[in-house]
């Protein structure tokens, strides 16, 4: 009977786990709807802004723009974006693995630092000499506790200032791009210096009226575009987190359900065997008394 009690306790424990994972799945699904709505609304705006900037800059030489300055690469900053919490499958580990791959590969020959946006990546690098946490940057988890454009713009401005000051010659953002609830892809995008836009075949047919001037508009659009680019990456990561957690909790619930079925079957078999043994013992005792 001790074996039966152990199986029954496991069934009860798994049932409680199923309730938790199912509740977490529903919470993540609700958060995913909001996060997905935010990124799907942001993407057309960000892409259109890039198209306009591309059309405007196609006839201008951006090499003189401070944000497009190509320098001898010595100091590199990787902005790694993860979540504050776990239980979302390989979502965080994929970003950390990509950052480690960049540190050991493409940027191995340079003085490279990692700026953590998200508690999980901060935990991975906080004891590393590559961790970059200067004054003026809040705690790693602050950004996703209250994700707004204003806070993202402040971080983007900080990165732009560090590039302009010459502290870093290249800044790269590593994050999870949202594809759908079940799929996220790790991207590493160059934030600074900006990559000159390539003129499309039909770009020349687009005509604009400029006030005060084409060059002046481009100069004002580039900082705005950089802030939008970073905010889009954070929104992508936020939606990807909830999608990954919803998928992970769905799989966990299904696995717990299958395990509960197997344990229930084992419990019933063990209980049936125990009852059969008791009947045999009773019958055997009765036969012995009759004899």
Is 273 in a helix, a strand, or coil? Answer: helix
**276 included as an active-site residue:** no
Distance of alpha carbon 125 from alpha carbon 193, whole angstroms? 25
Q: Which two tokens stand for residue 68?
A: 């497009």
The HSE-up count of residue 48 (CA atoms within 13 Å, CB side) is: 5
User: Do the beta carbons of residue 32 and residue 181 sit within 8 Å?
Assistant: yes
User: Do the beta carbons of residue 82 and residue 118 sit within 8 Å?
Assistant: yes
Dihedral sign (CA 236, 239, 241, 245): negative
Measured CA angle at 249 (ends 27, 20), to 5 deg: 65
User: Do the beta carbons of residue 133 and residue 79 sit within 8 Å?
Assistant: no
Dihedral sign (CA 64, 197, 114, 162): positive
Cβ count near 173 (within 10 Å): 24
Is 176 in a helix, a strand, or coil? Answer: strand
User: Do the beta carbons of residue 71 and residue 218 sit within 8 Å?
Assistant: no
Active-site residue identified among 77, 88, 194, 235: 88
Q: Which residues are catalytic?
A: 88
């Amino acid at each position: 009977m001790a074996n039966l009690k152990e199986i029954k306790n496991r069934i009860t424990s798994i049932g409680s786990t199923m309730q938790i994972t199912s509740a977490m799945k529903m919470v993540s699904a609700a958060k995913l709807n909001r996060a997905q709505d935010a990124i799907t609304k942001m993407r057309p705006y960000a892409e259109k802004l890039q198209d306009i900037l591309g059309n405007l800059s196609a006839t201008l030489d951006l090499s003189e723009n401070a944000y497009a300055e190509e320098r001898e690469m010595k100091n590199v900053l990787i902005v790694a974006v993860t979540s504050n919490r776990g239980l979302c499958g390989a979502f965080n580990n994929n970003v950390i693995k990509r950052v480690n791959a960049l540190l050991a590969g493409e940027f191995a020959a340079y003085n490279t630092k990692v700026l953590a946006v998200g508690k999980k990546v901060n935990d991975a690098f906080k004891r590393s000499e590559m961790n970059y946490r200067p004054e003026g940057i809040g705690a790693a988890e602050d950004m996703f506790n209250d994700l707004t454009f204003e806070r993202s713009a402040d971080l983007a401005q900080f990165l732009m200032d560090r590039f302009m000051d010459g502290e870093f010659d290249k800044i790269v953002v590593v994050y999870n791009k949202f594809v759908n609830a079940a799929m996220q892809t790790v991207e590493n995008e160059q934030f600074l210096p900006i990559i000159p836009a390539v003129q499309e075949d039909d770009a020349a047919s687009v005509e604009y009226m400029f006030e005060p001037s084409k060059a002046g508009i481009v100069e004002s659009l580039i900082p705005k575009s950089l802030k939008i680019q970073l905010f889009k990456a954070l929104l992508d990561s936020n939606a990807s987190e909830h999608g990954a957690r919803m998928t992970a909790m769905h799989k966990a619930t299904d696995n717990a359900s299958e395990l509960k079925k197997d344990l229930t079957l084992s419990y019933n078999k063990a209980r049936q065997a125990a009852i059969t043994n008791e009947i045999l013992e009773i019958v055997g005792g009765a036969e012995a008394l009759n004899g």
